[in-house]
Amino acid sequence: MSRILVVEDEERIARFMERGLRAAGHTVEVAADGARALAAVRASAPDLVVLDLGLPDIDGLEVLSTLRGEGHRMPVVILTARDDVADKVTGFESGADDYVTKPFAFEELLVRVRARLREQGRNQPQELVHGDLRLDLRTHRVRTPDLGEQELSAREFALLEALMRHPGALRSREELLDRVWGFDFDPGSNVVEVYIRYLRRKVGADRIRTVRGAGYRMA
């Protein structure tokens, strides 16, 4: 399961891509403008960004240049109505990994996303480690010295991965709800708390710390 940030100000297109990418097994976050896109990447770097250029606040190329300047190296697929050769050259020179023009077929976008993720995966670690806790990103299994190896459900894996990607960071309940379950999930649900309990049974209660009224972090 890869985490994809879709940066698109046209809500209809954004929701279309979100539904399609979720159906393909990815976790998807949507940002409607450049400022939100930068904030999302800085908060929790996604595995890939689909970036529209015609954003209402900051031009997409400026967003891309800023991300590359800050050292973010995840693949970026530009999705835009600008189809001139000069625009494509500028996009690649700014740090884009691929370029899809509107109107587009979702199947083509999905193929390009998968190709870029495969390339990225060759250079990425296959395991996250925090202390004596090890999470295998390929098999979705977690191992600890005291509890041994445990198999995680898709939601358990996504939740633990979100915590282990930034182990020192405090992750709020709302942030975890958005990232793991999606924006359309009932914000009044206690599903985060339920799955934190599930995870603690598999990794040990003392490895995930609750900060009362604020959220969760790795111990």
Architecture of the domain whose range is 127-218 = Orthogonal Bundle (1.10)
pLDDT digits (tens, 9 = 90+) for 100-115: 888 888 888 888 898 8
Average model confidence (pLDDT) across the chain:
85
Query: DSSP H helical segments within the chain, as ranges?
Result: 11-23, 34-43, 60-69, 85-93, 106-122, 154-165, 173-176, 191-203
User: Could you give the CA distance from residue 214 to residue 18 in angstroms, rounded to a whole number?
Assistant: 28
pLDDT digits (tens, 9 = 90+) for 4-39: 999 999 999 999 999 889 888 888 999 999 999 998
CATH 3.40.50.300 fits 3-122, yes or no: no
pLDDT at 123: 55
pLDDT at 168: 77
Amino acid (one-letter) located at 202: K
DSSP code at position 171: B
Q: What is the pTM of this model?
A: 0.58
pLDDT at 186: 65
- Domain ranges for the chain, please list them: 3-122, 127-218
- Contact criterion met (CB below 8 Å) for 3 and 46: yes
pLDDT at 72: 84
pLDDT digits (tens, 9 = 90+) for 116-148: 888 776 555 678 888 899 998 778 889 999 888
pLDDT digits (tens, 9 = 90+) for 167-219: 778 888 887 877 677 645 566 778 889 999 999 999 999 999 999 888 899 88
Peptide bond into 103 cis (omega under 30): yes
